[in-house]
Structure 1
Amino acid sequence: MIDVQRLRVLRAVADHGSFNRAAAALRLTPSAVSQQVAALERSLGAPVVARSTRGVTLTQAGLIMVGAAESVAAELAHARRQVDRLGTGRGRLTVATFTSGGRLLLPGALARFTAAHPGTVVHVRECEPETALPLVRRGDADLALAYHFDGPLPGRPGSPDAGLAWTPLLADPLHVVLPRAHPLAGREALDIAELAAEPWVLGCTKTESYLRRHAERVGFTPEVRGTTTDYFFARSLVAAGLGVSLIPSIALTPEEPAVRVVPLVPPAPARHLGVARIGRRADADTETLVGALREEAARVSGSGCAGGTPPTP
């Protein structure tokens, strides 16, 4: 029998990267953390961490057990909410969402959801996918409205997100945003290689990483003159002439009259928006909200609010 407390300790070690920091988070001594991990390894007959002077890293067995620890925590949190509902008659649903996706999709979806489940209290937590998905895996959120670029969903390095079900909602193409007077502003589409000499202003660190990867493929290193965590701020800096930007479709409203939006030539890079939740569970509240988000994504895609934004006239 695997001890749940030992799994909890291992998860803390994985999150914090050392016994000392995990001990501080759990309010235990480092020796107690070490003993719990050693006991787990004896019960499994396999090492779960590799120790070094730089800290600890998970072995393959450790990655498997951390995934199991997160699944157990999520199931226990779900069970606790179900028991609370028996006592109060009211459900509770926690949604984690990134800013631009939540602004676009959540209001309409929540209106549909509330009409169908008026007795359920909804809590919304704003955070990026790298924070939101662990919240779902741990049971601290019931679902996450998230996104990813090329490749898999963001998660713990080396660990598959087998416990998460991903429901695609829409594609969110990236567009070039230039000052209205820019010589390339009249183009119908641009290749990213044509922007090699341009300074850049970026509104998201992940977009910057994506730009650098694509720029490397075509042979240039972007000169980044501005970085923000806000696409609207990035557009205002473009309008002021600081540089050009790469911005997802859903962050292009409301319009900024001093800039010009130009699509990239196909295949255009895009974010992929979707909903992540624990795959083995299908309670009525969660499934209703996922359905409402799918309906809202279909509505905004059909109205031209996402999946492609025409150039600013």
Structure 2
Amino acid sequence: MLRVFCAVADHGSLADAAEALGRTPSAVSMMLRRFEDHIGAPLFESARKSHLTPLGRLIRDEAARELEHFERTVARIEGLAQARQGRVRIAVTPSVAQVVMPPILRRFMADHPGVRIEMSDTDSATIERELEAGRADIGLATIGPMAGFERELLFSDPYGVVCPVDHRLARNWSRLTWADMADTTLIANGLCRQITDEGFRPILEGATLMVRNTASLLSLVRSGVGVTILPELAVLPEFLDLEFLPLVECSTRREVWMFTRPDIFMTPATRAFVATIRASNVSGRAELQDN
């Protein structure tokens, strides 16, 4: 009724309004009559429908605002359903944020410019808490299975010693073993608990400094406080003052998993982001860097 009334008011005749609406003049006339009966007062000054009554002008303004709001609401609903709008909250580890996410974000933002993305980079334990609390829609982290979440392996990379380029361990890194670290100060981090090698256990137990933030950790390594153990992708190529040293005896690899709620509980925007991650060949890029 509101749409028909506004069309007649805007076009000034039943015939023109009917053509604009794709209806017959008699259908428009009947709908307009029902609307005036519902209001209980005439909205046009004459049968020609070329001039509104004072009440008609007031109702025209209100109807226009309501129709505009309705169109925005429908567009918003369609945008959400088709992943043209919405929000995706992602929690990732720092190395994933720096190495893996940039091409994924570029592609997704180009394909879905209306979707708002919120990304936080933090340690895996915090990512687990963010997922459980419902503050993240997607998590990329090194954690075990979680009840109520789908878990999909994205890639794995080896652990190694990270030290300054002029550190003594870097002189003979091709045969580096856990025993070579016996007299070296280890700065532990959250990922160290993932390494199950027997040779590493006494080294970790002897560490007196634990740093969880990757940026702070690498800053301390640069300043000579000690060395640390990190996965290979955590040491970016531009870190020219740091060296990543593979360990001959280290059998453990860091595994990065994608965590999401089951598909039925994901918004279309979240599903679209998950599809972009899967299409990005993350495992292939990780293997290429590993080799």
Short-chain TM bin: 0.5 to 0.7
Alpha-carbon shift at residue 118 of structure 1 (Å): 2.7
Distance 1:114 1:106 in 2: 12
Q: Is the 8 A contact 2:89 2:136 kept in 1?
A: yes
Q: Is the 8 A contact 1:105 1:293 kept in 2?
A: no
TM-score, length basis structure 1: 0.56
> Aligned pair in 2 of structure 1 residues 280, 193: CA closer, same or farther (>3 Å)?
same
The answer for the alignment partner of 2:269 in structure 1 is 285
Confirm or deny that 1:191 pairs with 2:182: no
The answer for the alignment partner of 2:214 in structure 1 is 231
Q: Aligned ranges for residues 267-306 of structure 1 at < 5 Å?
A: 267-281=250-264, 283-294=267-278, 295=280, 297-298=282-283, 300-301=285-286, 303-304=288-289
The answer for the alignment partner of 1:46 in structure 2 is none
Distance 1:164 1:174 in 2: 27
Alpha-carbon shift at residue 133 of structure 1 (Å): 3.1
Confirm or deny that 1:175 pairs with 2:166: no
Alpha-carbon shift at residue 263 of structure 1 (Å): 0.2
Task: Return the structure number with greater strand share.
Answer: 1
The answer for the alignment partner of 2:148 in structure 1 is 163
Alpha-carbon shift at residue 188 of structure 1 (Å): 0.8
Alpha-carbon shift at residue 105 of structure 1 (Å): 2.0
- Deviation by residue 1:244-281 (Cα, 9 ceiling, x = unmatched): 22122122114444443210125532221121001242
Q: Aligned ranges for residues 1-313 of structure 1 at < 5 Å?
A: 85-86=76-77, 90-148=85-143, 152-153=144-145, 161-185=146-170, 186-202=172-188, 204=189, 206-210=190-194, 214=197, 219=202, 222-224=205-207, 226-265=209-248, 267-281=250-264, 283-294=267-278, 295=280, 297-298=282-283, 300-301=285-286, 303-304=288-289, 308=290
Unaligned runs of 5+ in 1: 1-82, 154-160
> Aligned pair in 2 of structure 1 residues 140, 223: CA closer, same or farther (>3 Å)?
closer
RMSD value over aligned CA atoms?
Answer: 3.2
Unaligned runs of 5+ in 2: 1-73
Count of residues in Structure 1 that have an aligned counterpart in Structure 2: 211
Distance 1:299 1:217 in 2: 29
Distance 2:207 2:142 in 1: 23
Secondary structure of the structure 1 residue equivalent to 2:248: coil
> Aligned pair in 2 of structure 1 residues 198, 292: CA closer, same or farther (>3 Å)?
same
TM-score, length basis structure 2: 0.60
Task: Return the structure number with greater helix share.
Answer: 2
